[in-house]
Amino acid sequence: MKTVLITGVSGLLGSNLAWCMKERFHVHGVYHTHPVKIVGVDTSPLDILSADGVRKTIESVGPDIVIHCASLANVDLCEKHPEEARRIHGEGTTNIVEALRGTKAKLIYISSDSVYEGVQGPYPEDRGVAPRNVYGRTKLEGEKAAAVHPDHLILRTNIFGWNIQDKTSLAEWILRELRAGRTVNGFQDARFSCLYTFELARLIELAISKKLTGVYNCGTSTACSKYEFACQLAEIFGLSEDLVKPALLKDSALMASRGQDLSMDVSSFENALGEPMPSTSACLTGFYRDSREGIPAKLCYGAKKARSSLFRIPYGWHDIDPTDIEAVVEVLQSGSLTQGPQVKAFEDALGDVTGAKHSVAVSSGTAALHIACLAAGVGPGDEVITSPITFVASANCAVYCGARPVFADIDPKTWNMDAETLKAALNPKTKAVIPVHFTGQSCDMREIQRIVRDAEKKFGRRIFIIEDASHALGSFYRERPVGSCNWSDMVVMSFHPVKHITTGEGGSVFTQSEELAGSLRRLRSHGITNTPGELTQPAPGPWYYEQQDLGFNYRITDLQCSLGLSQLKRLPEFIRRRKEIVDRYNKAFQGLENITIPFESPECRSNRHLYVLLFDFKAIGKSRAEVMGELKVRGIGSQVHYIPVYQQPFYQRNFESSPNDFPAAEKYYEGCLSLPLFPAMSDEDVESVIAAVTQMEKRRGGVC
């Protein structure tokens, strides 16, 4: 395996080349001021302006190939600091050439289309070299320095790709703006041949194999304007093209002079390689494919901090992109960090998604469950019925209010609350029913509502229905969004990091009732109101407030809500990717003898929050712990959702329940295991999980 040394590995191009080439080369990357770590790549610091440092690095690494990407790539910054640009591009390149003297290493120098005049393209390599800004002139100096090396390859290019730092390439910036619903101004009079970095990596490897030397244009086969580029990008990613507006370069306030037509004639490189260069459309399609496969999450974030300390593929993971980060930073720089406009904006956006009239955002899903019970008047002497297959908070909320939690067994197919067992559990003490939409699939709410309403008539008592939809943002039941409160009094959701969208911690209660909404808002904020219509007496002044209930500090912050608002815009994208993964899982596992795939009711459209398989561990010949251990060895996380709540020591001590009362829950718990499911999973991740599970089944049968 040949050794490749890449300079500027902390930059967009250097990091992308390292990522693409690490499987076929031993890659060593050097950075200057921004340390980075990339799995499978050795990295170390180096100042290329230190001739001695460059020499020692070359001697230590012993590269067969040096790809020189280190650059001051900000065109306007070069204009402000011309001497720094000259030193980095010219002197730095000279240091590398000198250090390579006497070696057999190949030098690949990454140059720019900015070396051309930019008046009338497409430019072949031997025409129009007349840079109009400091960046172009100093990159041309770098070319001349690189050409001194006997085995040199100089590639003039213009690129887009994935940043490992908190920066954005042109394509990333366009995506960020469009996803945020902001206008993008694209220059109609600026043409270029912009190439996707992953395509450039492939072409460099091909050029290495063909031992090419000399100077070549390396861009797309089809040039386009930056306006056309943005429109194509929007179309491929399914974003609004209406937000892309035409603009003129000549009207911009950019500092450095820029060529209007920097398109390149790439025929010489095509002939040398023996294949055509990719089109702009092909590059953008590849960019979309890699986005879907989780490259940004793996490179841009996973490169700097492990996604999980234990697992290469955890069972669940949040997806934070630069748009989310920018949204939070904007609030940090604003005058309001908590209880400001972002809270109301987030609540309104949630209402738009669910169809609920009122959304009351709080600090967690647990807090949402608690105040929903309080608003329903749950208290000592009452009973609250919920599912045993859920997180403990679904039952704890009743205990917080002094009530007794009661469990109704699950349906063995859907794993949700079984309507018939609910009917048997209802009694004169029942104050509330909390059906849990497990894994994102809605309970049969129409039937549950019918049963509860019949019980109300029978017992002469109001019984509240509170849907625990912590798993179900974006799900539908009977073509109505979960959260609409069409079959309930209130709906609760959670925004924990493993949920569909995250606010870090956070939750919300939805209702169509003005009275319940008012109570919920007071309860989340100490039971206090300063709203004139809610005060028990006329307010003596603008400072006045009243504590009407014993409430709590369950308020959510503007910081959290700004993140939630940003995440909410990506909800359809998250659901679409989860469905793709689940469909692939189902196809792979449905024929396995001792594994049962999830059932989805035709009345529901699940958001696919969790992917749970039922294993016949006895038939497989392994315990659940052994299966989880084998997955862990492969770097694959798994989880159990959930241990039946009534089995927990607290519930055994305080609310005795017999496992014999819940045969379906017991059977489910005996075999359940959740596999990884989150939008940033790549297709490769999915196939790794499938291979690990199916190979266990094959080994059991003696195939492997």
Average pLDDT over residues 633-649: 94
Lowest mean per-residue pLDDT among 185-199, 324-338, 392-406, 412-426: 324-338
Q: Are 460 and 577 members of one domain?
A: no
Say yes or no to pLDDT of 308 above 70. Answer: no
Please spell the DSSP secondary structure of 103-147, one letter per residue. Answer: S--EEEEEEEGGGB--SS-PBPTTS-B---SHHHHHHHHHHHHHT
Q: Among 609, 624, 613, which Cα is nearest to 590's? A: 613
pLDDT at 301 over 70: no
Query: Which band of pLDDT confidence, cut at 50, 70 and 90, is reported for residue 418?
Result: very high
d(CA 60, CA 246): 51
Catalytic residues: 499
Same domain, 696 and 601: yes
What pLDDT is recorded for position 119? Answer: 93
Q: Are 8 and 27 members of one domain?
A: yes
Residue 488: pLDDT above 90?
yes
In this predicted structure, the answer to whether residue 524 has a pLDDT above a threshold of 80 is yes
Mean local confidence (pLDDT), 258-267 = 94
Query: Is 701 a residue whose pLDDT tops 60?
Result: no
> Picking from 101-110, 301-310, 392-401, 463-472, which range would have the lowest pLDDT averaged per residue?
301-310
pLDDT above 70 covers a percentage of the chain that reads: 97
Whether 36 is covered by a domain: the verdict is: yes
Of 154-168, 256-270, 320-334, 387-401, which has the strongest mean pLDDT?
A: 387-401
Per-position b or e across 385-407, b if 16+ CB within 10 A of its CB: bbbbbbbbbbbbbbbbbebbbbb
Same domain, 271 and 419: no
pLDDT of residue 365: 97
For the stretch 80-91, pLDDT in tens is: 999 999 999 999
User: pLDDT at residue 306 above 70?
Assistant: no
In a domain, 457, yes or no: yes
Residue 244 confidence (pLDDT): 94
Burial class from Cβ neighbours inside 10 Å (0-12, 13-18, 19+) for residue 313 reads: buried
> How many angstroms separate the CA atoms of 245 and 66, rounded?
41
Residues 399 and 460 in one domain: yes
Residue 309: what pLDDT?
A: 43
Whether residue 550 contacts residue 390, with contact meaning beta carbons closer than 8 Å, is answered with: no
Domain match, 294 and 370 both: no
Q: Which of 357, 635, 320 is nearest to 489 (CA)?
A: 357
d(CA 523, CA 398): 16
Same domain, 367 and 476: yes
Same domain, 614 and 544: no
CATH of the domain at 513: 3.40.640.10
Question: Is residue 141's pLDDT more than 90?
Answer: yes
The answer to the question of residue 496 being in a domain is yes
Domain end point (choices 244, 274, 305): 305
E strands in 290-398: 358-362, 383-386
One domain, residues 446 and 501: yes
| 396 within 8 A of 651, measured Cβ to Cβ | no
Q: Give Cα 217 to chain centroid, integer Å.
A: 35
Same domain, 432 and 367: yes
- Looking at the structure of the chain, the number of domains it has is 3
Task: For residue 243, tell me if it sits in a domain.
Answer: no
Report the C-alpha gap between 237 and 284 in whole angstroms. Answer: 9
- At 313 the pLDDT is 85
Cβ proximity of 76 and 63 under 8 Å = no
* Average confidence (pLDDT) over 22-31: 93
Last residue of a domain, one of 544, 566, 588: 566
> Is residue 48 a part of any domain in this protein?
yes
Say whether pLDDT at 304 is over 60.
no
Domain that holds residue 105: 3-168+190-223+257-305
Question: What is the distance of C-alpha 75 from the center of its chain?
Answer: 31
Relative to beta strand 464-468, strand 476-477 is unpaired
Last residue of a domain, one of 519, 546, 566: 566
Q: Is there a domain that residue 617 lies in?
A: yes
Q: Provide the CATH number for the domain around residue 276.
A: 3.40.50.720
d(CA 665, CA 417): 10
- Whether 295 has a pLDDT exceeding 90, the answer reads no
Q: Give the list of residues 6+ apart from residue 1 with CB closer than 8 angstroms, or none.
A: 24, 25, 26
Contacts 24+ apart (CB under 8 A), 621-626: 621/700, 622/696, 622/700, 624/671, 624/673
Dmax over Cα atoms in the chain, in whole Å? 96
The verdict on residue 39 lying in a domain is yes
* Residue-level pLDDT at 300: 61
Neighbours of 530 (CB within 10 A): 13
583: CB partners within 8 A, 6+ apart: none
Domain-embedded: residue 312: no
Q: In this structure, are 636 and 688 located in the same domain?
A: yes
Q: Which residue matches tokens 């559990």?
A: 425
pLDDT tier, 156 (very low <50, low <70, confident <90, very high otherwise)? very high
